[in-house]
Amino acid sequence: MPIALTLSDSPVAVADQAAELLIDAVAAKPDLVLGLPTGSTVLALYRRLVRAYRGGRVSFRQVTCVNVDEYVGLGPDHPQSYATYMRETLFRHVDAGPDRVHGPHGAAPDPVQEAARYERLIESLGGFDLLLLGLGVNGHIAFNEPGSSPDSSTRVVELAPATLRANSRFFAGSSGQPTKAITIGIATILRARRIVVLATGVTKAKAVQAMLSGGPMSVWPAAALADHPDVRLLLDRAAAGER
């Protein structure tokens, strides 16, 4: 099954599309198991979901929210942890139940064990009904960097130089910027029943092109999504390589 495309004129339109898709998915299955990414691309989507919640269009009360990755070494109170990102951009503004909100514990004493626990947790939830993903400039999905195996499960990874560069803007200088993360694996991703990827801006054009034209997956991890039966890519004209 080829990756389905929704091409929009702007990042704003991509966020609108994604928000409507998500609101519909929760309406169809209020107890959705929902995989969520962080990053700049999805900020506009999360703002729309907060607005939709305030307008009574969506409730997260029964939704299980499962974050896809976290920096190793950053606890939930660290300002740059993905736990903080999710709390501040989405969870504290909607009716998400604290016991239905999950993310890998970045400050766990044994990150390897924590990754294994997280994989088991996802399994015990029955896997993702809907998994939302962003796209790294190097084609990473969650934090599955180039070289990730299609069989990989949730694990500790070394971040690629391109990722460290792209995300250094969030850390003052490079000191304190984590070089490792816990991420759900490619196999974990491919077990999701439905996957939606968001990509906006010219910096993603190469990764989008590779994802749609067969990778190779060893160089562009997002190309692994071609093996999944239900993937939709929401993208704007810049990410599609149009000028």
> Could you give the residue numbers annotated as active site?
69, 138, 140, 145
- Stretches 85-93, 103-111, 130-138, 210-218: which one binds ligand GLP (CB under 6 A)? 130-138
Residue 187: what are its φ and ψ, rounded to 5°?
A: -65, -40
Binding mask 144-183 for ligand GLP (x = CB under 6 A): -------------------x---x----------------
Report DSSP state, residue 178.
Answer: -
Binding mask 187-226 for ligand GLP (x = CB under 6 A): ----------------------------------------
CB 224 within 8 A of CB 187: no
Q: Does 41 bind ligand GLP (CB under 6 A)?
A: yes
Which of 35, 104, 106, 134 is the binder for ligand GLP (CB under 6 A)?
134
CB 33 within 8 A of CB 64: yes
CA distance 227 to 114: 28
Nearest approach in angstroms of CB 78 to ligand GLP is: 15
Nearer to ligand GLP, 57 or 180 (CB): 180
Residue 167, token pair as written in the block: 């995300």
Nearest approach in angstroms of CB 198 to ligand GLP is: 8
Residue 194, token pair as written in the block: 């439905």
Which of 40, 80, 89, 149 is the binder for ligand GLP (CB under 6 A)?
40
Q: How many residues bind ligand GLP (CB under 6 A)?
A: 14
Q: Does 103 bind ligand GLP (CB under 6 A)?
A: no
| Listed residue (132, 152, 158) closest to 15, CA to CA | 132
Q: Does 142 bind ligand GLP (CB under 6 A)?
A: yes
Nearer to ligand GLP, 69 or 114 (CB): 69
In the numeric block, the tokens 């990410």 are attached to 239
CA distances from 134 to 61, 107, 126, 243 (A): 24, 24, 22, 21
Binding mask 19-38 for ligand GLP (x = CB under 6 A): ------------------xx
Nearest approach in angstroms of CB 202 to ligand GLP is: 12
Q: Round the CA-based radius of gyration of the chain to a whole number and report it.
A: 17
* Chain residues 66-95 in contact with ligand GLP, contact rule CB under 6 A: 68-69
CA distance 114 to 118: 6
CA distance 222 to 212: 9
Q: At what angle do helices 82-89 and 43-54 cross, to 10 degrees?
A: 40
Nearer to ligand GLP, 39 or 127 (CB): 39
Q: Residue 145 in 3-state DSSP? A: coil
CB 200 within 8 A of CB 236: yes
- The footprint of ligand GLP (CB under 6 A) covers 37-41, 68-69, 133-134, 136, 142-143, 163, 167
